[in-house]
Amino acid sequence: MSARLARYLPILDWGPGYGRNALTNDLIAAVIVTIMLIPQSLAYALLAGLPPQAGLYASIVPILLYAVFGTSRALAVGPVAVVSLLTASAVGQVAEQGTAGYAVAALTLALLSGGFLLLLGVLRLGFLANFLSHPVIAGFITASGVLIATSQFKHLLGVDAGGHTLIEMVRELATHLDDTSGLTLLIGAGATAFLFWVRKGLKPLLRRLGAGPLVADIATKAGPVAAVVVTTLAVFGFGLADQGVAIVGDVPQSLPPLTMPGLAPDLLRQLVLPAILISIIGFVESISVAQTLAAKKRQRIDPDQELIGLGAANLGAAFTGGYPVTGGFARSVVNFDAGAETPAAGAFTAIGLAIAALALTPLVNFLPKATLAATIIVAVLSLIDLSILKNTWRYSRSDFAAVAATITLTLALGVEIGVASGVILSIVLHLYKTSQPHVAEVGLVPGTHHFRNIHRHDVTTDPRMLTLRVDESLYFVNARFLEDLIQRRVSETRELRHVVLMCSAVNEIDYSALESLEAVNQRLREVGIGLHLSEVKGPVMDRLKTTHFLKDLNGEVFLAQYDAWCRLTGKGEDDRASAAE
């Protein structure tokens, strides 16, 4: 019973052995992540089209729930840029930003996302996320980074511009360029330049001045906080809000409230597909980070339990004034590098954010939105990786097509259409590639028992025997391809008496492929040619034994391809040795 509980409550695994050393490391990591997360939470809520406090709320209870149900000891859960953009895109289609309906829709989106993740986890269906290939994810994140950065230029310029696609945003910005607020631009550009310098130059400078690595790291992570403090004081001290600088305004001074998502059928219907997309994208991003960090400490991540942990976190966000959350790359790396030992570091981070929500929110009243925009721009530019286009072009043109299409469609038509198109294109390209599997005609390498492609190696062949090595599982998509290939080769070789399918790379034969093999077997029987199999894997053979195929086979099944060679050509060890000489 305890083992089963630990399976669904990983806290029971690491909690009993929690000691002073882990406590110290977790507290240090929590301080650093909290400092980093306060301005990020406010900024990402702005990106999602929600009040700034929603970012804080989405970073408290969800983190606590993940600490109980999650398996990663370093993953930092909360609002992230891509999910915030997806939230704004989805919710913006059902409610007007700034209204109560918009906030309720965001809660509903978190509810649906959490429920979907939880369902996948309980049913152990985490493999479904594999339908999002890495090139598609990389292309989508790159395009999202461009959209996110572009969407924040309106706050840097102090203009009222909208748009959901790159073309719309650029057109809107160009239209309102004459309305640019000089003071807002000064604050935004200054904050952006400062944050870039902090990210690249502050830590080396502090190290040269003799600061310890921990102090330098904390100071670097506190860069956004410094930008927030300085610009807020400047706006307050000089009365810049009265001169056109947009500010955050009043932020409730409270812990996350108890909220209720909307359950209207029409609202649920409109948000269910975006919720599924957000869930899968968030899970893929989260599990990638979690597994990378866990591998560095030889720890194990359970993907299905991660679904439960993230599902619980999103459900928590839905009932405490937040919006969809997932594991963030930058925060998780910071958490890991700061020495986090257990998920308790996340719980301590949540406590720090709760204190901030209670005590610090009045201080952000005069925080300029341009500073938050600068924080977002600097954070998301690291997501943009155009090298994926060059790399995929060199390695795989089909992957390049998926990346290029995902980037183009995301920028031109919006995030939901972009990622959905990328997924569909990936599946179509995969089906196309597997519909024409690599099938090599092989011969015996002289002096060995090995068989290799006749077009790549100097091998021995026999005109009476055709050996085809099938380098793909056989299923309904490619069954006809193999059938046609065998028919063509048989018609080209008059001396042919035996066809051998070398099945060392075949992991599965589905029913459609079985019927195709039966048809091939019947046709070869009619022309006096035997159909043989070699090196069939155990699981595949087990399935074949449940059918009449082996009984009706117009040939034999050989354990090794060399056995087939010796038996069907009559060339044994002596003949092979002579051929080698």
At 76-119, the pLDDT tens digits run 999 998 899 999 999 999 999 889 999 999 999 999 999 999 99
How far apart CA 285 and CA 383 sit, in angstroms, is 12
Q: How would residue 292 be classed by pLDDT, with cut points 50, 70 and 90?
A: confident
Judge whether residue 64 has pLDDT over 50. yes
> How many other CB atoms are found less than 10 A from the CB of residue 47?
27
pLDDT at 425: 81
H or E stretch at 226: helix 223-238
Judge whether residue 576 has pLDDT over 60. no
Using CB atoms within 10 A of its CB, is residue 556 exposed (0-12), middle (13-18) or buried (19+)?
middle
Place of tokens 């957000």: 278
pLDDT at 382: 78
How far apart CA 576 and CA 445 sit, in angstroms, is 10
| Residue 498 structure tokens | 């035996």
Place of tokens 């049913």: 123
For residues 311-318, give the mean pLDDT: 96
Place of tokens 């925080």: 367
Using CB atoms within 10 A of its CB, is residue 271 exposed (0-12), middle (13-18) or buried (19+)?
buried
pLDDT at 127: 77
At 3-51, the pLDDT tens digits run 566 667 888 878 888 888 889 989 988 988 888 888 889 999 989 999 9
| DSSP per-residue string spanning 512-571 | HHHHHHHHHHHHHHHTT-EEEEES--HHHHHHHTTSSHHHH-SS-EESSHHHHHHHHH--
Place of tokens 């024409």: 436
At 435-448, the pLDDT tens digits run 888 999 999 999 99
Q: How would residue 580 be classed by pLDDT, with cut points 50, 70 and 90?
A: very low
| Residue 43 structure tokens | 């900024």
Give the per-residue SS3 of 82-132.
Answer: HHHHHHHHHHCCCCCCCCHHHHHHHHHHHHHHHHHHHHHHHCCCHHHHHHC
Taking the mean position of all CA atoms in its chain, how far away is CA 450? 40
pLDDT at 113: 97
| DSSP per-residue string spanning 391-404 | HHHHH-HHHHHHHH
Using CB atoms within 10 A of its CB, is residue 568 exposed (0-12), middle (13-18) or buried (19+)?
buried
Q: Within the chain, what is the greatest distance between any pair of CA atoms?
A: 99
pTM for the structure as a whole: 0.79
Q: How would residue 573 be classed by pLDDT, with cut points 50, 70 and 90?
A: low
Judge whether residue 216 has pLDDT over 90. no
Residues whose CB falls within 8 Å of the CB of residue 48, separated by 6 or more in sequence, listed in order: 54, 55, 79, 84, 85, 87, 88, 91, 106, 323
